[in-house]
A and B are shown apart, each in its own frame.
Chain A
């Protein structure tokens, strides 16, 4: 019963590098989300998707891209890493809007 799986758990990047944060869920949820968590700031929505092939921007999308080719996977791409992107990133999924979201355990990313 894996739920939402995020990889990697930790990563250190240099400024200007790129990487993809992976997120997979095995609950057949149509709705998926990417949040970032900064200390004392709560969580901010980066991107979300309501189904395969459909994505949309959240509150803080600049510097990120997403794709949703399957129901299960929702990767988040950082093209040119910047120190301001140092954060903990969480992926979540749900059966629909206003339904409980299931979260992965996060990816801790440092940009140096």
Chain B
């Protein structure tokens, strides 16, 4: 089965600084990779996805993610952090290669805290 890992439970960044939330993946074949964000007491919201093509994927709220095949990574980035970016971030992948009908496998999540 395919999987993702988020090595950091929490990331602290000062407002205005660039931010990176890390994700590594283990997949067979061409990867489908997703980032979601969860605000307190809310459901997850889709940020962006990688299917194929450009290694830099742009998404919602000014976020982007860099796909790196040699490092099997899909890190989430933003050039300048806002306090409102503080939330729980999840990386996700379909559990089986070529499929997605059977839901997503999520990482454990990374708490992003932006300090004013």
Chain A residues proximal to chain B, CB less than 8 Å: 4, 31, 33, 35, 40-43, 45, 48, 50, 56, 58-59, 90, 92, 96-106
Contacts and interface: CB of A to CB of B under 8 A. Distances in A.
A45 B46 contact: no
Given A98-B32, A100-B34, A48 B103 contact: yes
Contacts of B67: none
Contacts of A48: 101-103
A105 B43 CA distance: 4
B16 interface: no
Interface in B79-116: 90, 94-95, 99-109
A8 B99 CA distance: 31
B11 interface: no
Nearest to A54: B101
B26 interface: no
Chain A CB within 10 A, most for which of B99, B101, B105 = B101
Contact of B100 (A98, A105, A106): A98
Interface of B is mostly: loop
Interface residues of B, number: 25
Interface in B51-102: 51, 90, 94-95, 99-102
Contacts of B9: 40
B48 to A, nearest CB: 9
Contact of B101 (A31, A90, A106): A31
Interface of B: 9, 32, 34, 41-46, 49, 51, 90, 94-95, 99-109
Given A33-B103, A45-B103, A48-B103, A103 B90 contact: no
B49 A100 contact: yes
B102 A104 contact: no
Given A98-B94, A105-B41, 16 more contacts: A4-B43, A33-B103, A35-B103, A41-B108, A45-B105, A48-B103, A56-B102, A90-B43, A92-B43, A96-B100, A97-B102, A98-B32, A98-B99, A101-B46, A106-B41, A106-B42
A58 B108 contact: no
Contacts of A4: 43
